[in-house]
Structure 1
Amino acid sequence: MIPTNPKKRQRVPHHSTSMRHPSSADLTRSDSSQKLRRSNSNASFNEGVFVRRATPADSSSFNDATTADVILRLYVDHDTPFAADDSAGEDDVQIYLHSDVLRRSKYFAALLSDRWQNPNLNNGVDSKNNNNSNCSRFICLSFGVSANKPNSISNHETVLELLYTDNFSSVINNVSTALDLLPVALELLFEDCVKACVRFIEAVPWTEEEEKRVIETIPFLREEESRELLLRITAEDDSCEDMLHGLILVAIHNHPNMAFVKAFVAKLLRDFSSRESARRVLERAFEETLKIVKGSLEEYSSPDFRGDETEAIERLNLHIAMTNGRHLLWLVERMVELRVADNAVKEWSEQPAFTADLQRAIRDDAWRNIVPGLPGILMKSTCKLANAVTAGTILAARQVRMKLVKDWLPVLIVCKDNASPLLPSHKTLYLELEQTFLRIISTLPMSDSQELLQQCLSFSTKNVDDCPHLVTAFNTWFRRATRPPQADDDDG
């Protein structure tokens, strides 16, 4: 994560530039230890003092040899950043510039101040190192650019040309260009260009590759310049979980196109990088939704109201239970899918009061006309969790497995006895849950399975051949019960 308050580097002059006379070379060497503090972007050095910069004269134009007083040689520095190569290379570029315009760059303002303070240095020219016959009237400079950056010469030319205008938008018109020019503007301490690049980068979208470059550039910006960029790419430690939780709540409660939104949020959860974060978010939503379902059934089963409002409130409570029961099933499906339902199974197995309220509600005839699908929707959640236990995707402890069957087996029996005639989908669901409960019972100690199997006699049908799962469960129990005890090691 990018630090929100890094120690920003002070911008210092580039050290590979040299003036071609002894005193200016000394200045260039001393630049490596000198730190220039940035102030108002409209200020520059003039004879060693910060002054308000003047607008460049209309007669000054970029690379105009007739009016220029500075010749700048841009060359590719293949050695150290402090080396000034005197030999001309094929990639070198010579540019005619104006000292009054260069003052917009604090770097050049500081570099040229030596000449302004020492006007008797033969125009600041070391004729031995300069072959240009016109150097007698020019200040001749060389500036080394990095060989490791693509288009480095071209980018420096562009920034130098921007010294001659305030219309940065004509050049800085895409993120890639802004990111190319920003390091050069920082290098030359060209404040107006730095601000224009940062302002453009902050205001427009980025590609993933551009975002990486922005992150690499941020440490070189001042705190106030990087603040908006940091807000865009950094967040609190728990913000991802808050975001996922909010998406889940919107998907299951507030969005009209619920089915499509649920499918999209399910994909986000599957693709999320942190499985533990997804677990915490789903468990939080599961507990909140389960609390609503439990509360509505408790109020329905044990009303504390009287009078004409009774029927209306009963209907309301049943509808709340039904709606949130659907949400609960979706959450259970997501948890099982992501294999993070361990705590949900444990929570579901510790609901004696909830299952008791549910049994009372099912025995009442009112739900059939109001929410006929309520028993089935809650038993689907039970079936999803129980199947995950038998499949081994949830490794539940013995006590959890026993309590899961002990609390929810009576609900299954009541659902079958009070849902007549059974809907085809419910009949299939209940049969699947019978088989699953019997398989879980087979994983319990003999004494526990003996007690629970006796409650499963209601699974039997008129034709014994129609309930093979029940026959198999009892045959398994009796086979184990009649097996001779294992001999001790001492008995050989």
Structure 2
Amino acid sequence: MGPGDVRLTVVGRTNFDAAPFRVTVDVHRRVLAAKSRFFSDKLRLSGTLSVEILECNDVAIYVEAVVLMYSAELQLKSKLLGMEVSKILALLKICSAIMFEEGIRACLEYLEAVPWSEGEEESVVSHLNQLQIDCSRLDTVLHRVIANPSTSSRAENVFLKLSLGVLQAKDDKARREMKGLISRLLKEDCNGNGLHIGLDISRDILYQLCHRCLGSLVLCLSGTTGFDSKQDRGAIMAEISREADNMQWILGILIDRKVGEEFVDLWADQKELAVLHSKIPTMYGHEISKITAQLCISIGRGQILVPKEIRFSLLSTWLEPLYDDFGWMRMGGKSIDRKLIEEGLSQTILTLPLPQQQSVLLKWFDRFVNMGDDCPNIQRAFEIWWRRAFVKQYAIESKLQLAVCDIPD
């Protein structure tokens, strides 16, 4: 190609501690003018044999972009192979600034094809949004992370499909792992104030899943009579445990998304289910009582707010089954926090009117003195009720005070 006929000098940003870094190279007017509209205009207007670029953020990358102009378009992608995504983004920024079309196209094709880490993903989107490039040219790259609203499924439809798949899963280990995964992803969909900012999952969809689980649980318990064999009995009991675990998972999502109030009323109304629950072995039934414990913990923490009638109805329906199952729940190991359940139960009872507190706690007293550790220890709630009822005497007086003043004639 012969010796260069234009001297290109690239100078870095001014550094107060030292002179700015600069690089000077001899280049060819024909190449720069043919490949870059920026250099074509600059060389035509100046008519000089030298070009100086000042205040460059990355001198080495700028020079490398110029060197790429000497490659045929088909060779450009091979020149980029193996480069870090961050370097490609820096090259793309220079190519865009000097209007080197073949370089822009090669960098975009590279970004579209190469895998990104999560950190690189954010950097790619940020850099592309800053470039003065037609959006239609960026779509090929950004389709990886930005869905087209006109063709993408609604988030709640995807969530419903995934959830039904989890609830019906045959492999227990895979089901547990996928429940954990979906729960973590849903919790990420939340800002610092607890408001959900991404997934548009309606209350109706969540309660549709809830009613499905509840129906399956009732059906399982209804089928516990008239076993043909021990094998049939074992299969049904395993199904009961699985459906109860499914219900706990859905309830956890309802609580996290602050829409659990309706479930408390629904669960308190399951008197038929509570009767059926009393007819199955405790080793299986205690999974159902975990649902009641989960509700009491949330009510006790103020995460679910329901009227006192519903709170009392919940305890009236499910407290005795919880007492019956607590021994098995206590042996549940790490999956059960006994102190957490006892605290939640205590706080829930203490939100009731005093006569209802007395009714619940006197029945608990009779159970506890006979069952010991196999009954929840809610002595603290008993003490608080006793002081409220017999020691502290609160009175609320309404007094009407009249102010009399003279009115001048």
SS at match of 2:51: strand
Q: State the distance in 2 between where 1:328 and 1:247 align.
A: 15
Question: Is residue 245–residue 287 contact of structure 2 (8 Å, CA) maintained in 1?
Answer: yes
Per-residue CA deviation, residues 275-328 of structure 1 (Å, 9 max, x unaligned), is 33399869777534431232235556889xxxx99xx99999876554221122
Following superposition, the deviation at residue 108 of structure 1 comes to: 5.0
Match of 1:413 among 320, 323, 346: 320
Of stretches 98-107 and 241-250 in structure 1, the one that deviates more from structure 2 is 241-250
SS at match of 2:53: strand
Following superposition, the deviation at residue 341 of structure 1 comes to: 7.0
Amino acid aligned to 2:277: I
Following superposition, the deviation at residue 405 of structure 1 comes to: 3.5
Q: State the distance in 2 between where 1:483 and 1:106 align.
A: 87
Amino acid aligned to 1:172: L
Match of 1:135 in 2: none
Match of 1:351 among 241, 262, 267: 267
Per-residue CA deviation, residues 64-101 of structure 1 (Å, 9 max, x unaligned), is 22xx6x4243343879xxxxxxxxx9935242425278
Q: State the distance in 1 between where 2:74 and 2:257 align.
A: 61
Match of 1:361 in 2: 276
Per-residue CA deviation, residues 21-50 of structure 1 (Å, 9 max, x unaligned), is xxxxxxxxxxxxxxxxxxxxxxxxxxxxxx
Amino acid aligned to 2:274: Q
Question: What TM-score does the superposition give when structure 1 sets the normalisation length?
Answer: 0.57
Match of 1:105 in 2: 36
Match of 1:217 in 2: 128
Instruction: Specify whether residues 491 and 462 from structure 1 end up closer, same or farther in structure 2 by C-alpha distance, changes over 3 A only.
Output: farther
Match of 1:71 in 2: 6
Question: Is residue 435–residue 469 contact of structure 1 (8 Å, CA) maintained in 2?
Answer: yes
Match of 1:444 in 2: 352
Q: State the distance in 1 between where 2:363 and 2:237 align.
A: 28
SS at match of 2:351: coil
- Residue 389 of structure 2 is aligned to residue 480 of structure 1: yes
Following superposition, the deviation at residue 382 of structure 1 comes to: 0.7
Match of 1:158 in 2: 67
Following superposition, the deviation at residue 229 of structure 1 comes to: 2.0
Unaligned runs of 5+ in 2: 15-19, 402-409
Match of 2:75 among 139, 142, 167: 167
Match of 1:323 among 229, 239, 242: 242
Match of 2:146 among 234, 254, 262: 234
- Residue 105 of structure 2 is aligned to residue 186 of structure 1: no
Q: Which has the larger radius of gyration?
A: 1
Unaligned runs of 5+ in 1: 1-59, 80-88, 115-123, 131-139
Identity of aligned residues (%): 15
Question: Is residue 241–residue 277 contact of structure 1 (8 Å, CA) maintained in 2?
Answer: no
Question: Is residue 375–residue 415 contact of structure 1 (8 Å, CA) maintained in 2?
Answer: no
SS at match of 1:142: strand
- Residue 22 of structure 2 is aligned to residue 91 of structure 1: yes
Question: Is residue 182–residue 194 contact of structure 1 (8 Å, CA) maintained in 2?
Answer: yes
Q: State the distance in 1 between where 2:105 and 2:370 align.
A: 85
Q: State the distance in 1 between where 2:41 and 2:371 align.
A: 102
Per-residue CA deviation, residues 315-359 of structure 1 (Å, 9 max, x unaligned), is 9987655422112224445776xxx37532552234354x22213
Instruction: Specify whether residues 317 and 342 from structure 1 end up closer, same or farther in structure 2 by C-alpha distance, changes over 3 A only.
Output: farther
Question: What TM-score does the superposition give when structure 2 sets the normalisation length?
Answer: 0.67
Match of 1:376 in 2: 286
Instruction: Specify whether residues 475 and 165 from structure 1 end up closer, same or farther in structure 2 by C-alpha distance, changes over 3 A only.
Output: closer
Match of 1:294 among 195, 214, 237: 214
SS at match of 1:234: coil
